[in-house]
Amino acid sequence: MEEEPFVYHAFDSANFIAEIERGTISPITFQENTEYSVVFEDGTMETVQSSDVEVQHRHTLKETTIKQHTKYKDDSCKTVWYNGAKCTGCGKLWKYDVIDEQTNKVCRH
């Protein structure tokens, strides 16, 4: 099975952004052996690294599609795509709903 191209997925983010601003949705907690990538509406892509620095500021949120790739010890992997948001100031990510997911018995990444 070939992996789908990583593209921006438009969604109605008004409620999602409001929940982030109220603090009812927490940012992503980075997991071991998991890589996160984001793609913005203009097609710009970036890989996001974990940051242990807690930055206190009002988040400036930009809608994004998040790709979460987890590689397992048996050499399999799982990729999940989410609607999400990224703070342009501190880089924190928030996942919203799942767009799609794919599991491979052998990781090709």
Per-residue pLDDT of the chain (109 residues; tens, 9 = 90+): 455 567 787 788 888 888 888 888 888 888 777 888 888 888 888 888 765 545 567 888 999 999 999 999 999 999 999 999 999 888 889 999 999 999 999 998 7
What whole-number distance in Å separates Cα of residue 84 and Cα of residue 104? 24
For 84-94, b/e burial (b = at least 16 CB within 10 A) is: bbbbeeebbbb
Identify the three-state secondary structure at position 22: helix
